[in-house]
Structure 1
């Protein structure tokens, strides 16, 4: 423990730099003086410590003229020089400190990567490094942000970048050179440029974008036609993400109504394991997709800091997304956030809620289109039915007209025939009668005897002739009636009135055989007073 003489106006500064207050002695103190840079507290050291420090400075000053210290080389005395000409380690390091302060009097802007960061008593301690493209460390050193500046610098950095200062970030910092005899070389951070960190992210995005364009796959997933219907969707997200809960609130309703199935895969979206876990989730998805295909792949995360999304900006992940065989939908961040995965995906949404809303909209549009198609089918069917009914009515009218015309035609044909038959019969009767009269006169004139017998014979012959004539007239009259009846009964309506029926197809064509009727699923049987739909029994 090391006590300090801190004036009252300086108490807040001493506290910020790590000093503690002893209420019994009513003095400020350093609990672990070996773990802090004492040069920060030199103005408050008590008299004994000040005398030790001044004594050390006097020794160092006395040696300055004889000691030539440079950063390129240190010239040591020869082996013959006595111990009196040597210096202590603290004196040497004090000279190094003096030279460094002289060489770097002002703060410098330095580019580096944060390898480690931690906080103690309000101070921020950093491990800075510089690595080459192969991941080999080229340089490293310690740096610190004193509590007096930490709140201001960290708040501004987080406000601009959307993320707290953390491991793995590349930073541009303004530092002062600090060298302590006991704690060695370190940098004191005086300022941070958060725009540099964002610029590094954008530069990485540009490099990935150029490589994808060079390989000809940058637009590959965007060129995949989006399916008209969505029945089965794969979802990759962090297991406990708030965005996943928002997504499932709507997706579960779709599953409840059997409109769409969702299969979930989990992966972290930040940290060192983000890339490997995401690739593992994509491999698991691909294995299931080959056996039971999906219609789309959804990648969601929800809101978060902009720098938290940086682990997703990897070429390997971008290639895995852009080469997927089905459309990829992303809802990884808010509207202001963007990753390379959003760029190469088929469709990008601002949030997981908007992704599932888009899926809802797609399914709803498909349902509306299906309803419209069904209504159109019904409308066209009704139109076709009306057209068919009109055609059937027209055919019926044509049949009725043909029947009436045929009946009139045959009546016209039969009337002359009837008149001719009647005239012929009358001529035949007249001719026979004249022949009989002639014979009668001839007989009377030729045979005077025996008159009675002859008369009787004549009367008998006359009766026979009359009977034959009547029989002939009756025969021809009956034949004429039969001919007229046959002609009149040849029309369909007459056949129907006689008790017959006609079998016709649904299109109105006559059915002429039982085999033809058996081959139909349904046909009509027409009677005198209407028609009946029948279905044949299959043998």
Structure 2
């Protein structure tokens, strides 16, 4: 009551929305202020009556619904109101969405700087994608339209590619998104060897729907993750911190599916191109070998002809030389025969006797030694001009 009495005029205050409820157009808020260690140092209840909500909505437009959610810090024009039964409440009569958006942007910049200071900002982005993406872990909400878009695009592809897709469910917006996505990442990390990459997909929404993807804890987990992370969280203008640290960031789930298909198609095209190169190399080598064989055959042909021609010349030359060679051979042999004839004539017994030699026989046998004879043996000695008979007187 004292607070209500001391603040008769509305004042601007800032506080974080811890809990938010709605009933019959009235909005009930549990507001807190936190210290540097994230502990609650002050807490109060607030209410936006339906009439005030309609007036604020007419003034601020759809930006009001974007900032009026749990976990965000609001700048509010409040008037303390005390009720004996319900106690003190802060009656909220206006909200400044620009303040909330500014706070979100400031926290986002702080998160990015923290990741850079820790050397994590480029860590996942620097991971090399496998040459083929086939085993894919998908994090999304069961009810997210983006999940169905992704599955239809990738499983119904016209290339005939087959994929093994495992879906890990998690909230993809609201205060539970960060913790649930972290839990899904932890499950995937335990079986990381089964997957080629992670795809985080969700449908479209406002910029504030992406606030969970600006959190330091989730951004750090993705930056540090052992697998490449591909995001398609459905926002055409703004990038979340998770988008910035992910290996690849696409605008929509359909774009993620198309990226994976094109990545695999590029590999298939490379294989086809390699096959064409191998075919071209083989064709050139076969052509070169064919030329070498033809050249070899030609060389053998000319070599054989050359050798035949050379042999023919040798035969002609030999034919021309043969009579002369035969004549010389006959002359040489004739001379040899004459020499042999002269030698034989020189050794003929008659010629030997003419040179003063004699031949003595005993009983018709030529006597070669005196030891062959005995006393009284009758001998016949042939001389050049006749024969002489004699007998052995003493032996």
Check whether TM > 0.5: yes
Counterpart of 1:387 (choices 288, 297, 312) is: 288
Correspondence for 2:146: 243
Which one of the candidate residues 134, 140, 162 is aligned to 1:231? Answer: 134
Superposition deviation, residue 181 in structure 1: 5.6
Is the aligned partner of 1:422 residue 2:332? no
Q: 1:185 aligns with which of 83, 88, 108?
A: 88
2:103 is aligned to: 200
Instruction: Please list every run of 5 or more consecutive structure 2 residues that lacks an aligned counterpart in the other structure.
Output: 335-395
Question: Which of 261, 271, 280 in structure 2 is aligned with 1:360?
Answer: 261
CA–CA separation in structure 1 for the residues paired with 2:144 and 2:235: 14
C-alpha spacing 1:427/1:184, structure 2 compared with 1 (3 Å): closer
Shift of 1:139: 2.4
The change in CA–CA distance for 1:388 and 1:232 in structure 2 (over 3 A counts) is same
> How big is each residue's C-alpha offset from its partner over 1:390-441, in whole Å with a ceiling of 9 and x where there is no partner?
11101111111111111111111121212222334467779999xxxxxxxx
Q: Distance in 2 between matches of 1:312 and 1:104?
A: 39
- Equivalence for 2:196: 295
What are the superposed Cα offsets for residues 332-356 of structure 1, whole Å, 9 maximum, x if unpaired?
1211243221110011001100011
Kindly indicate whether the alpha-carbon contact (under 8 Å) linking 2:219 and 2:245 is maintained by their aligned counterparts in 1.
yes
Deviates more, 1:421-430 or 1:407-416: 421-430
Does the 8 A contact of 1:158 with 1:164 survive in 2?
no
Aligned positions, number = 336
Could you report, residue by residue, the CA deviation over 1:194-242 in whole angstroms, capped at 9, with x for unpaired residues? 1111122222212221221111111111112233332322222112211
Distance 2:115 2:28 in 1: 39
Q: Name the CA distance, whole Å, in 2 between partners of 1:193 and 1:232.
A: 46
Verify the 8 A CA contact 1:332 1:350 in the aligned structure 2: yes
Q: 2:122 aligns with which of 215, 219, 228?
A: 219
Aligned residue for 1:304, secondary structure, equals coil
1:161 is displaced (CA, Å) by 6.2
What TM-score does the superposition give when structure 2 sets the normalisation length? 0.76
State the TM-score, normalized to the length of structure 1. Answer: 0.57
1:109 and 2:12 matched: yes
1:68-467 alignment, distance < 5 Å: 96=2, 103-154=6-57, 159-160=62-63, 163=66, 165-180=68-83, 183-253=86-156, 257-290=160-193, 292=194, 294-425=195-326
Q: Please, which moves more after superposition, 407-416 or 113-122?
A: 113-122
Q: Which structure shows the bigger proportion of residues in helix conformation?
A: 1
Bigger RCO of structures 1 and 2 (CA < 8 A, at least 6 apart): 2
| Structure 1 SS opposite 2:204 | coil
Distance 1:351 1:430, change over 3 A: same
Counterpart-to-counterpart distance in 2, 1:115 and 1:431:
138
Superposed counterparts of 1:12-51, under 5 Å: none
CA contact (8 A) 2:67 2:74 kept: no
- Provide Cα deviations, 1:170-207, integer angstroms capped at 9, x if missing partner: 10011234345665433322211011111222222122
**Cα contact 2:200–2:229 (8 A) shared by 1:** yes
Quickly say closer, same or farther: Cα 1:137–1:316, change in 2 above 3 A: closer
Q: CA deviation at 1:373?
A: 1.8
* Mapped partners of 1:431, 1:116: distance in 2: 139
User: What CA deviation, in whole Å up to 9, does each residue of 1:131-165 have, x standing for no partner?
Assistant: 22344432233333233221232465562266262
- SS of the residue aligned with 2:44? strand
**Given the superposition, is the C-alpha separation of residues 128 and 265 from structure 1 closer, same or farther in structure 2, using an over 3 Å criterion?**
closer
SS of residue matched to 1:298: strand
Distance 1:217 1:181 in 2: 54
The 2-side partners of 1:205 and 1:156 are apart by 27
User: For residues 159 and 288 of structure 2, what CA distance do their matches in structure 1 show?
Assistant: 44
For residues 333 and 117 of structure 2, the distance between their equivalents in structure 1, rounded to whole angstroms, comes to 123
**How far did 1:259 drift?**
4.3
Structure 1: runs of 5 or more not aligned: 1-92, 434-539
* RMSD of Structure 2 on Structure 1 (CA): 3.0
